[in-house]
């Protein structure tokens, strides 16, 4: 089944309202194994709505709309569907009873224009709405299906789950989409894709899709199957191939976060960590302590932004700052060792760099970051040159620093 979404509302085109309904419906259709090919957004203009819906119905088997089912003059979805289907709007007793029951339940008077919401194209079914006044519309036109839902997200989601999902399950072949997401850090999207291009080129079922998000790359493996067991059998060999090729950069699955993975590694080893941050201003400590149970391994965080604080709090030798500068490998190592000793922790992690937009030089440009990790047996450092604005450089630094911990422990 080929599906299309038509999201209705001038407020969506103006950016006044974020279209969360489209994302929700897209995910739900994927879960049902229904292929979504197109998504359109149109304002509250009858002619343009008719044009968009005519095009959608011409190329898709299932068209789902959101919005335009209210009682006011700008709510024109019902009349547009009536014209599209060439069917008159008629009073639907089920819809009328539902609207009257809603107003009675909420002890509110019902305005005359609310009755407008009970008029549906002839032959259409009313989709019950227990969460608002606008019934949905389900209209079968030969082998085509039109489903219209209110634009209020709470109403749309509840109605979709209660009525639309069971209906669509009966209309499909029973196959659904099952996905697994692998998460990678320390490797770029283009490099990752090049390494697994043969696997991607030969994909059929399951399919493989790499995509970048901030500071990491994800690979989504998606199988179409009648059950989770059947899907697992399809996904497992592909996942094994990807793990064999990209295992050193793989840090987690699904909704795992890097800080949670690092925390779990520390718990398993019964080890602790402390952080010393300059350019990130506490961001690394913030991420580590966002994880429930972090008190089991996070000992202390020091934001040593000034040179004086590096010397006084972390015991960084002043001559290192004079000779090499605060942004240097020598100072990063001394910071990591200093915070480890200060907190009496297993590991000390430190970052120092230039987040910008000012402060850079030809020798030490904006985005230059040194980071170090210290253990009683060794201390090692890395240098990075990040791009982006101040916030992005801070975020990239925190991600790389957490990955340094992961890789070092591993």
What CATH number has the domain bearing residue 214?
Answer: 3.30.70.2860
Q: By C-alpha distance, which of 345, 22, 388, 70 is closest to 214? A: 388
| Cβ atoms within 10 Å, residue 365 | 12
C-alpha distances out from residue 318 to 130, 195, 199, 321, 351, Å: 69, 46, 53, 5, 17
- pLDDT the model gives residue 109: 85
Mean pLDDT to the nearest integer, 303-324: 97
pLDDT at 105 over 90: no
Q: Is the domain of 269 the same as that of 396?
A: yes
pLDDT at 270 over 90: yes
Residue ending a domain, choose from 223, 253, 283: 253
Phi, psi angle pair for 43, to nearest 5°: -80, 180
Q: Is the domain of 378 the same as that of 303?
A: yes
Residue in the structure block whose two tokens are 């718990």: 267
- pLDDT the model gives residue 173: 78
Angle at 271 between CA 268 and CA 276, to 5 degrees: 130
- pLDDT the model gives residue 31: 85
Contact 377, 409 (CB under 8 A): no
Provide the pLDDT confidence category of residue 203 given band limits of 50, 70 and 90: confident
- pLDDT the model gives residue 116: 86
pLDDT 10s digits, 356-367: 999 999 999 999
Q: Is the domain of 389 the same as that of 289?
A: yes
Q: Is the domain of 264 the same as that of 329?
A: yes
What's the whole-number average pLDDT of the chain? 94
Report the C-alpha gap between 287 and 99 in whole angstroms: 48
CATH code for the domain of 336: 3.90.950.20
pLDDT at 55 over 80: yes
pLDDT at 176 over 90: no
Mean pLDDT to the nearest integer, 323-350: 98
Confidence (pTM)? 0.77
Report the DSSP beta bridge partners of residue 145: 62, 140
- pLDDT the model gives residue 384: 97
Contact 67, 77 (CB under 8 A): yes
- pLDDT the model gives residue 351: 98
Angle at 56 between CA 54 and CA 57, to 5 degrees: 65
Q: Which residues have a Cβ under 8 Å from the Cβ of 96 and sit 6 or more positions away? A: 115, 118
pLDDT at 292 over 90: yes
| Cβ atoms within 10 Å, residue 85 | 19
Provide the pLDDT confidence category of residue 33 given band limits of 50, 70 and 90: confident
Q: Is the domain of 134 the same as that of 160?
A: yes
Q: Which residues have a Cβ under 8 Å from the Cβ of 128 and sit 6 or more positions away? A: 98, 135, 136, 159, 162, 163
Lowest mean pLDDT among 35-44, 108-117, 331-340, 390-399: 108-117
pLDDT at 134 over 80: yes
Residue 85's domain comprises 2-171
Residue ending a domain, choose from 171, 205, 229: 171
Q: Is the domain of 40 the same as that of 162?
A: yes
Phi, psi angle pair for 211, to nearest 5°: -155, 145
DSSP 247: G
Which comes out higher in pLDDT, residue 324 or 109?
A: 324
- pLDDT the model gives residue 177: 85
Q: Is the domain of 78 the same as that of 185?
A: no
Contact 81, 148 (CB under 8 A): yes
Pairing of strands 298-303, 273-277: parallel
Report the C-alpha gap between 87 and 107 in whole angstroms: 34
Which comes out higher in pLDDT, residue 177 or 68?
A: 68
CATH code for the domain of 140: 3.40.980.10
Report the C-alpha gap between 29 and 300 in whole angstroms: 46
- pLDDT the model gives residue 12: 95
Mean pLDDT to the nearest integer, 278-296: 97
Cis amide leading into 206 (omega within 30): yes
Q: How many domains does the chain have?
A: 3
- pLDDT the model gives residue 246: 96
pLDDT at 174 over 80: no
Mean pLDDT to the nearest integer, 130-153: 94
Q: Is the domain of 214 the same as that of 240?
A: yes
Q: By C-alpha distance, which of 68, 75, 79, 66 is closest to 149? A: 66
Which comes out higher in pLDDT, residue 176 or 52?
A: 52
| Cβ atoms within 10 Å, residue 229 | 9
Mean pLDDT to the nearest integer, 317-323: 97
Q: Is the domain of 223 the same as that of 149?
A: no
* Strand segments (E) across 79-118: 89-91
Q: Is the domain of 166 the same as that of 242?
A: no
Mean pLDDT to the nearest integer, 143-155: 96
Mean pLDDT to the nearest integer, 113-131: 91
* Percent share of the chain, pLDDT over 70: 100
Provide the pLDDT confidence category of residue 30 given band limits of 50, 70 and 90: confident
Q: Is the domain of 157 the same as that of 25?
A: yes
Report the C-alpha gap between 57 and 146 in whole angstroms: 8
Q: By C-alpha distance, which of 235, 233, 232, 179 is closest to 203? A: 235
Residue ending a domain, choose from 117, 138, 171: 171
Mean pLDDT to the nearest integer, 191-201: 92
Report the C-alpha gap between 156 and 220 in whole angstroms: 27
Q: Is the domain of 214 the same as that of 154?
A: no
DSSP 217: E
DSSP 116: G
Provide the pLDDT confidence category of residue 397 given band limits of 50, 70 and 90: very high
């Amino acid at each position: 089944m080929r599906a299309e979404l038509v999201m209705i509302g001038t407020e969506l085109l103006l950016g006044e309202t974020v279209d969360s309904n489209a994302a929700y419906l897209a995910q739900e259709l994927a879960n049902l194994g229904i292929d979504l090919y197109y998504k359109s957004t149109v304002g509250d203009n009858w002619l343009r709505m008719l044009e968009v819906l005519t095009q959608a119905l011409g190329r898709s088997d299932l068209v789902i709309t959101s919005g335009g089912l209210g009682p006011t003059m700008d709510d024109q979805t019902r009349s547009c569907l009536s014209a599209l289907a060439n069917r008159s709007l008629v009073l639907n007793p089920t819809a009328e009873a539902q609207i009257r029951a809603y107003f009675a339940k909420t002890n509110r008077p019902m305005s005359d224009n609310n009755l407008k919401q009970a008029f549906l194209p002839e032959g259409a079914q009313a989709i019950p709405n227990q969460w608002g006044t606008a019934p949905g519309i389900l209209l079968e036109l030969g082998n085509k299906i039109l489903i219209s839902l209110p634009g209020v997200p709470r109403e749309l989601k509840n109605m979709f789950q209660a009525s639309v999902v069971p209906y669509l399950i009966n209309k499909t072949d029973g196959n659904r989409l099952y996905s697994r997401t692998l998460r990678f850090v320390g490797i770029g999207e283009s490099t990752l894709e090049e390494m697994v291009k043969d696997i991607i080129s030969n994909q059929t079922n399951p399919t493989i899709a790499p995509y970048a998000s901030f500071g990491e790359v994800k690979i989504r493996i998606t199988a179409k199957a009648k059950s989770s067991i059947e899907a697992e059998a399809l996904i497992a060999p592909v996942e094994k191939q990807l793990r064999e090729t990209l295992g050193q950069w793989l840090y987690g699955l699904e909704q795992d976060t890097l800080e949670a993975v690092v925390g779990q590694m520390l718990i398993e080893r019964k080890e602790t960590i402390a952080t010393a941050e300059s350019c990130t201003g506490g961001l690394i400590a913030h991420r580590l302590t966002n994880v429930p149970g972090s008190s089991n391994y996070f000992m202390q965080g020091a934001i040593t932004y000034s040179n004086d604080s590096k010397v006084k709090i972390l015991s960084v030798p002043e001559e290192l700052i004079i000779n090499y500068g605060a942004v240097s490998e020598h100072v990063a190592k001394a910071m990591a060792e200093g915070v480890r000793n200060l907190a009496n922790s297993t590991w000390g992690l430190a970052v120092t760099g230039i987040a910008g937009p000012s402060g850079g030089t030809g020798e030490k440009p904006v985005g230059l970051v040194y980071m170090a990790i210290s253990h009683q047996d060794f201390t090692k450092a890395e240098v990075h040159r990040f791009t982006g604005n101040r916030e992005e450089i801070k975020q990239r630094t925190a991600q790389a620093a957490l990955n340094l911990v992961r890789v070092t422990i591993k």
